[in-house]
Amino acid sequence: MKNKNLKRKNPWAQKGPKRGKKGFSIEQDPFFDTESKRRRKIDEEDVIESTQSSDEESDKFDDGEGEEAVAEKTEEGEETAEERRKRVAEAYLEKIRRIAKREQEEDEERESDGEREGDRDSLVAQILQQEQMEESGRARRLIASRVQKPETTDGFRVLVKHWQSVNAVALSENDTKGFSASKDGTIVHWDVDSGKAEKYLWPCEEVLRSHGAKDPKSKATKHSKHVLSLAVSSDGRYLATGGLDRHVHLWDTRTREHIQAFPGHQGPVSCLTFRQGTSELFSGSFDRTVKIWNAEDRAYINTLFGHQGEVLNIDCLRKERVLTVGRDRSMHLFKVPEESRLVFRTPASSLECCCFINNDEFLSGSDDGSIEHWSVMRKKPVHIVKNAHAMVAPHRLEQEDNEGLPNRHMENGIQMDGNYCSSACSWVSSVVVCRSSDLAASGAGNGFVHLWEIESDSKGIRPLFELPSVGFVNSLAFAKSGHFLIAGVGQEPRLGRWGRIPEARNGVAVHSLKLL
């Protein structure tokens, strides 16, 4: 009986090829070899001949002729990424040395050349260290106190005209090029100095589908070109736009061609931002989510959840921290590597816009006309400026009703005669901070762009000057140097048509700032 059981347990023991320790492979079985012996013999001869020829070539290189050929190839070939980084770093270091030399020549002359050379190197190190601290947000440039009061005749100068309201503006890293987008789908790339503009052309529906776009989910047969937001990468290679078609579109700024469409959002894409120094892209949508993309790899990375209402604005610095605001009366600070978030809630208003001051402080603007100063150490605002963009009341209304605030300003919510309401015109629709500085600006539809000084140690913000601007200021962008301010102006608000100022001119306006 035992022998019979053993035979039943191993019914396949005598069948099939015997397996060794290494296991059996189909490639080793001659039955599956499709090539004939004659063909394999020819291939072996070719391999032998090729190895011999390669040996002969290597002997020729050993004679000295090969080294010269390799040198010629490297000279004629394209520059590698490592060589380019080295060249850019050396050019930047040489620029800093020239600045340090100029500053040293202005000081008193040293006794010896050795001391002069040593002082110059130490000055270069100090300049590089200061720039690095400013870029990382650990040091703050004091620019607000140097801004001169603008003259009464000074105002915003229209640089680029658009057919409809401008919803978003952005500047390149070197502040020489600008980008703007409007409600009619026009995307423009323009020069800051000359104002010369070049339009981006939308591809046809077939090309959009080949680039990854999905078919419209609504009754529309074509993708909407209504643009709500845009962002440009730090290296200036990529421009990202988002709008009502629920896609994030990626453009090449060198050729102004459409290169990719990222689907995934279930609502309009309302805000975009690149992480500084990288190709990492963040997008916020009316579907209450924030998605992370990689522009270099054309890939989706992750989705961040947390908002209970539409995400309206977004900002990011060099760290992997994303600041968002939404209609759920909250502001979220997402810490992406830690997969955690901080939630800041406002008393009784919806936040419309936000921006980082540094990694630990930020500003926000709300629909009740207030500007809030926040810190990561507190869940409530450190400082609130109420009625920051109050409407200027007409003389007749002030005399009859005797309502409003001092200096002929009306409190937010009071109706005015005409085609628009003071409530919509007083909403703080945009706020921006000059990078690594104490200078900030905010815009609304009350006819002015306000400049603010951010006080140290989170003590709050105080008003500086008012820059006249007719229309809804839907977007703002500061130059890194602080010498000028770009505003996207329109007759209507960015996210709707609940107000209209017919006297406004749709376009991009620039205002120069004089520093002491």
Measured between alpha carbons, how far is 110 from 379 in angstroms, rounded to an integer? 54
Q: Kindly indicate the confidence band of residue 11, based on its pLDDT and cuts at 50, 70 and 90.
A: very low
Percentage of the residues of the chain whose pLDDT score is greater than 90: 49
Res 41 pLDDT > 80: no
Among 83-92, 481-490, 499-508, the range scoring the smallest mean pLDDT is 83-92
Q: Which two tokens stand for residue 6?
A: 């053993």
Q: Is residue 378 part of a domain?
A: yes
Res 24 pLDDT > 80: no
Burial class (CB in 10 A: 0-12, 13-18, 19+), 396: exposed
What integer is the mean pLDDT of 265-287? 95
The residue that leads in pLDDT, 68 or 328, is 328
Q: Kindly indicate the confidence band of residue 432, based on its pLDDT and cuts at 50, 70 and 90.
A: very high
Task: Report the length, in residues, of the chain.
Answer: 516
Residue at token pair 């007749």: 396
Which of 38-52, 66-80, 153-167 is modeled with the greatest confidence? 153-167
Burial class (CB in 10 A: 0-12, 13-18, 19+), 11: exposed
Q: Is residue 89 part of a domain?
A: no
> What secondary structure letter does DSSP report for 176?
S
Q: What type of residue sits at position 158?
A: V
pLDDT of residue 156: 87
Q: Which two tokens stand for residue 177?
A: 């090029």
Q: Is residue 85 part of a domain?
A: no
Q: Kindly indicate the confidence band of residue 398, based on its pLDDT and cuts at 50, 70 and 90.
A: very low
Q: Is residue 160 part of a domain?
A: yes
Measured between alpha carbons, how far is 335 from 45 in angstroms, rounded to an integer? 62
Measured between alpha carbons, how far is 480 from 459 in angstroms, rounded to an integer? 24
Number of domains forming the structure of the chain:
1
Res 496 pLDDT > 80: yes
Q: What is the DSSP string of 272-339?
A: EEEPTTS-EEEEEETTS-EEEEETTTTEEEEEE---SS-EEEEEE-SSSEEEEEETTSEEEEEETTTT
Among 27-36, 75-84, 123-132, the range scoring the smallest mean pLDDT is 27-36
Q: Domain of 387: which CATH number?
A: 2.130.10.10
Host domain of residue 185 = 144-391+423-512
pLDDT of residue 421: 40
Measured between alpha carbons, how far is 63 from 67 in angstroms, rounded to an integer? 9
Q: Kindly indicate the confidence band of residue 69, based on its pLDDT and cuts at 50, 70 and 90.
A: very low
Burial class (CB in 10 A: 0-12, 13-18, 19+), 68: exposed
CA distances from 389 to 298, 394, 447 (A): 41, 16, 9
Q: Is residue 314 part of a domain?
A: yes
What integer is the mean pLDDT of 215-229? 77
What integer is the mean pLDDT of 244-265? 94
Q: What is the DSSP string of 329-384?
A: SEEEEEETTTTEEEEEE-SS--EEEEEESSSSEEEEEETTS-EEEEETT-SS-SEE
Measured between alpha carbons, how far is 304 from 290 in angstroms, rounded to an integer? 5
Res 6 pLDDT > 70: no
pLDDT of residue 90: 80
Burial class (CB in 10 A: 0-12, 13-18, 19+), 490: buried
The residue that leads in pLDDT, 318 or 24, is 318
In the sheet that 257-262 helps form, which strands lie side by side, from edge to edge? 227-232, 238-243, 248-252, 257-262
Residue at token pair 């406002």: 346
Q: Is residue 312 part of a domain?
A: yes
The model's pLDDT over 119-168, given as tens digits with 9 standing for 90+, comes to 666 766 766 666 666 665 566 788 898 999 887 666 789 999 999 999 99
Taken in order 135, 180, 275, 288, the sign of the CA dihedral is: positive
Q: Is residue 444 part of a domain?
A: yes
Mean of pLDDT over the chain: 78
What integer is the mean pLDDT of 332-347? 92
